[in-house]
Amino acid sequence: MDLFVNEKPISTEEGLSLFDLRAWLKKDADIVILNGFPCREDHPLRNGDRIILIRRGEVPPFDELEALMAARHTPGVHQRVKKARVGIAGAGGLGSSVAVALARIGVGKLVIADFDLVEPSNLNRQQYFTDQIGLAKVVALRDNLERINPYTEVVIHDLRLAQDNIPIVFGEIDVLVEAFDDADAKAMLIETFLRCFPEIPVVAASGVAGYDPANSIVTRRVLRNLYLVGDGQAEAKPGQGLMAPRVGIAAHHQANAVLRLILGERAE
């Protein structure tokens, strides 16, 4: 009988039950999933069944976790995502959310730069926790990403990006995500990076504040290698702040654009 256990093919004798298999392969597993459904009672196994055996609190070894993650991807996607190197300029609402999304899909390397600290006002939209207040954002984000996917390499730069260090920090990436709040900093980053690396795409954002309709946030190609996410209008100002829903929508537009570029698709 041919089965898949934690996404690895195995062959067994006929007549084996689900709990027999657990006793044989991972007797301390306290979560047993058969063909996508958790099972608390024993079941007979059939040829082609897919079984997941999990011990609570245990981090699977690399090859096993990779197989389990890849099982949710479109065939042929995971190996290309695993090889990708993505730069993220800014670790605030956009940058931290983009980083989480890319770590969850298994991007191989993230290079993240920011000079700021986690403060209470960040917690309304950024991917941090109350016990991380006062930490450097890049340090806190690296810790959180390691908990999500310990096999994504995260390189951090706790510094303010400027024209002279941008080529050094982001010199070996495949796609750059612009995730700044300040308009002047956005322009400086994009202009500097595209001048230094004209063949590497940039996914930027503008117009994500407030609580306007979600569908007003779009991804557009504005130059040959520059993509812009947002509505282009809704800037943060008194009476119109940055809030988790729209910032999260824009961040996931950016992450999806990055994924499409990694896979050789048009991002917009």
Sequence-separated (6 or more) residues with CB below 8 Å from residue 55: 26, 28, 29, 30, 31
Structure-block tokens of residue 53? 């055996």
Q: Which domains does the chain have, with CATH numbers?
A: 2-58 (3.10.20.30), 78-262 (3.40.50.720)
Written as one string, the DSSP assignment of 196-244 is H-TTS-EEEE----TT--GGG-EEEEEETTEEEEE-S----BTTB---H
C-alpha to C-alpha distance for 149 and 105, rounded to whole angstroms: 9
Contact 27, 12 (CB under 8 A): no
pLDDT band at 89 (very low <50, low <70, confident <90, very high): very high
Query: Mean pLDDT throughout 147-167?
Result: 96
Q: What is the pLDDT of residues 15-40, one digit of tens each?
A: 999 999 999 999 999 899 998 889 99
What is the rounded average pLDDT of the residues 166-185? 96
